[in-house]
């Protein structure tokens, strides 16, 4: 029996209803990690002097990789997230917290992390690691939105682009090294190397759950071949891409908004679980990957590979918003299209590592390597991918014409 099933079974008698989470497609599924319960919340918050006695759990996040809730306490609302230690141990979580603290101190629109009486922000209790955040201002318009679905308006896309630029400005000076090997971290190492095949091998060897799987190796080899032209285009630009800690998951659902209107402004950026030391272009490419291409249509029906919906108006708005705050250099702008085709690779593999190594779900791991890693690479080589990359290059050309 897989680890998550054992965990869920332990609490079945305590739960009268099951709160479903996002699955690998458009469906809702039973959670891998059981929702937070008041007794554990009460024990946790007793360690935090800024938090009062919990009164009620107000929400249950549908995000699948952890358990998270907004909790009403006698001192106000807080946001609590619980990770299994196989996914985030204390050291792994403190990397994120150090980055968030730096961003907060430098004026970025991010939530404040709360500390225990001993100054700890990551608390290990049994098999779990907890974190507690101040409940952020803003409206969670996209609380039920799946990743790989678009913004509701170009206004939202524009404002989110501005917020990402603000994060990048605030991230300057944060010099921590890249994160240690662990699941669910969207780094940039394979295609940052002059020899992606050798870098891919190192990536796999560091992750036993992947390196021992023959089908994963086959998928990696196929993806390397499909993505080779994009790496060839990116390679001469790599020296100009300055390393920077980045969010790597700025989907609309990881933003809180000034109101529920279609013209709302982004007021907070949340969920830094995939953050790592990459670069500005990698982060922008991930924002394109998360919001502009409706990948779930491809996954639902492979025959629709050439007709996956694209949102070019939102792409342009998002990039325009970014450019108003933090203009891209010539090399960064030139790198954006090939990076868009490459950035998904390590996320697909880190998610496969999570499903194979933590949840022991080879079927979901296979979706990540065959469907995401290879499937997305195939799409970029086809008409749909070319339409997207042409749109990015067209935006870059327009940018250069006014410089």
Compute the distance between CA of residue 353 and CA of residue 211 in angstroms, rounded to an integer: 10
Closest CA to 35 of 73, 72, 63, 74: 63
Angle between helical axes of 312-325 and 383-401 (0-180°, round to 10): 40
**Domains within the chain, CATH numbers bracketed:** 3-134 (3.30.200.20), 154-401 (3.90.1200)
Q: Are 231 and 196 in contact (CB under 8 A)?
A: yes
How high is the pLDDT of residue 400?
74
The mean pLDDT value for 176-188 works out to 95
pLDDT at residue 56 tops 90:
yes
φ and ψ at 215, to 5 degrees? -65, -35
How high is the pLDDT of residue 19?
65
The mean pLDDT value for 355-361 works out to 95
- Helix (H) or strand (E) run with residue 28 in it: strand 28-29
Angle between helical axes of 214-234 and 330-342 (0-180°, round to 10): 160
Least confident of 118-132, 269-283, 297-311, 379-393: 297-311
3-state helix, strand, coil in the chain (%, to 5): 50, 15, 35
Furthest C-alpha separation in the chain: 65
Residues in the chain: 403
How high is the pLDDT of residue 15?
34
Structure tokens at 123: 């608390």
pLDDT at residue 21 tops 60:
no
Q: Which residue would you say has higher pLDDT here, 5 or 308? A: 308
Least confident of 55-69, 90-104, 177-191, 342-356: 55-69
How high is the pLDDT of residue 306?
74
pLDDT at residue 43 tops 60:
yes
Structure tokens at 321: 């918003």
pLDDT, tens only, 262-285: 999 999 999 999 999 999 999 999
Structure tokens at 325: 């705050």
Q: Are 59 and 35 in contact (CB under 8 A)?
A: no
pLDDT, averaged across the chain? 91
How open is the CA angle 257-261-267, to the nearest 5 degrees?
15
Closest CA to 270 of 101, 158, 111: 111
User: Distances from the Cα of 337 to the Cαs of 161, 230, 393, in angstroms?
Assistant: 16, 8, 6
Compute the distance between CA of residue 115 and CA of residue 118 in angstroms, rounded to an integer: 7
The mean pLDDT value for 329-334 works out to 97
pLDDT at residue 28 tops 90:
no
- What percentage of the chain has pLDDT greater than the value 90? 82
Structure tokens at 231: 């790496």
How high is the pLDDT of residue 296?
84
């Amino acid at each position: 029996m897989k680890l998550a099933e054992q965990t869920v079974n332990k609490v079945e008698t305590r739960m009268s209803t099951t709160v479903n989470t996002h699955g690998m497609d458009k469906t809702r599924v039973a959670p891998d990690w059981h929702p937070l319960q008041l007794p554990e919340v009460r024990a946790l918050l007793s360690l935090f002097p800024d938090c009062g006695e919990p009164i009620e759990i107000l929400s249950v996040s549908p995000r699948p990789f952890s358990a998270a809730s907004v909790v009403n306490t006698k001192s106000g609302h807080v946001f609590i997230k619980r990770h299994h230690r196989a996914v985030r141990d204390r050291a792994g979580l403190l990397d994120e917290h150090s980055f968030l603290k730096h961003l907060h101190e430098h004026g970025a629109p991010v939530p404040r992390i709360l500390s225990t009486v001993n100054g700890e922000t990551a608390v290990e209790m049994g098999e779990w690691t907890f974190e507690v955040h101040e409940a952020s201002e803003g409206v969670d318009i996209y609380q039920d939105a799946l990743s790989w679905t678009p913004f509701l308006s170009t206004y939202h896309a524009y404002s989110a682009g501005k917020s990402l630029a603000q994060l990048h400005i605030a991230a300057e000076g944060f010099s921590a090294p890249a994160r240690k090997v662990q699941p669910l971290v969207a780094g940039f190492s394979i295609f940052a190397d002059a020899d992606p095949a050798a870098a891919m091998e190192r990536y796999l060897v560091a992750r036993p759950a992947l390196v021992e799987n023959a089908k994963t190796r086959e998928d990696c080899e196929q993806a390397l071949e499909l993505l080779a032209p994009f790496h060839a285009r990116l390679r001469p630009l790599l020296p100009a891409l300055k390393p920077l800690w980045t969010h790597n998951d700025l989907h609309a659902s990881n933003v809180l908004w000034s109101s529920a209107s279609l013209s709302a402004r982004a007021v907070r950026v949340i969920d830094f679980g995939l953050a790592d030391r990459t670069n500005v272009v990698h982060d922008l490419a991930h924002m394109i990957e998360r919001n502009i291409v409706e990948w779930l249509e491809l996954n639902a029906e492979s025959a629709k590979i050439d007709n996956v919906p694209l949102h070019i108006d939102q792409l342009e708005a998002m990039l325009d918003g970014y450019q108003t705050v933090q203009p891209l250099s010539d090399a960064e702008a030139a790198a954006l299209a090939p990076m868009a085709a490459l950035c998904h690779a390590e996320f697909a593999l880190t998610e496969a590592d999570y499903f194979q190594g933590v949840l022991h779900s080879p079927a979901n791991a296979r979706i990540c390597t065959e469907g995401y890693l290879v499937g997305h690479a195939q799409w970029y080589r086809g008409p749909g991918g070319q339409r997207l990359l042409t749109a990015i290059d067209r935006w870059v050309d327009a940018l250069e014409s006014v410089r």
